[in-house]
């Protein structure tokens, strides 16, 4: 599902919600989540899952084209862990 499909589905499910308002709501939710992760905060949505940052230490990698060694700096990468309810629903064992 893409962002625009989510917006269309929200607008269809809630008749009082105009597509423009659904678009704004989705954008605000995603912006708030992005800002929280950028601050290093953890996001937990019970029944759905949690978003957090995982630390990747600096390392020496290889350029796949030339084979030369390349320094890869440290970084934080977003990580999603599905909640129990989501895992069960996806698995079909609800």
Q: Which domain range does residue 10 map to?
A: 1-41
* Domain co-membership, 34 together with 62: no
Residues 62, 20: one domain?
no
Q: Structural domain tally of the chain?
A: 2
Q: Are residues 20 and 57 in the same domain?
A: no
Residue 76: give its domain's CATH number: 4.10.520.10
**Could you read off the pLDDT of 39-80 as tens digits, one per residue?**
999 999 999 999 999 999 999 999 999 999 999 999 999 999
Q: CA 93 → CA 26, 49, 83, distances in Å? A: 29, 17, 14
Mean pLDDT score of the chain, rounded to an integer? 94
Q: Is 24:40 a contact under the CB 8 Å cutoff? A: no
Q: For the whole model, what pTM was predicted?
A: 0.80
Please determine, for residue 94, whether its predicted confidence score (pLDDT) is greater than 80.
Answer: no
Q: Residue 93 pLDDT > 80, yes or no?
A: no
- Asked if residue 92 has pLDDT above 90, the reply is no
- Verify that 58 and 36 share a domain, yes or no: no
Query: 35 and 59 in one domain?
Result: no
pLDDT one-digit tens code per residue, 4-49 = 999 999 999 999 989 899 999 999 999 999 999 999 999 999 999 9
C-alpha to C-alpha distance for 80 and 51, rounded to whole angstroms = 5
- If asked whether residues 34 and 47 sit together in one domain, one would say no
Q: In the chain, pLDDT over 90 holds for what percent of residues?
A: 93
């Amino acid at each position: 599902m893409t962002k625009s499909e989510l917006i269309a589905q929200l607008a269809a499910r809630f008749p009082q919600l105009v597509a423009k308002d659904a678009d704004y709501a989705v954008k605000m939710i995603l912006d708030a989540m992005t800002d929280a992760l950028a601050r290093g905060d953890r996001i937990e949505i019970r029944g759905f899952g949690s978003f957090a940052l995982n630390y990747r230490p600096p390392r020496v990698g290889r350029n796949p084209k030339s084979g030369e060694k390349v320094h890869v700096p440290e970084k934080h990468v977003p990580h999603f862990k599905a909640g129990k309810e989501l895992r069960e629903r996806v698995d079909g064992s609800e």
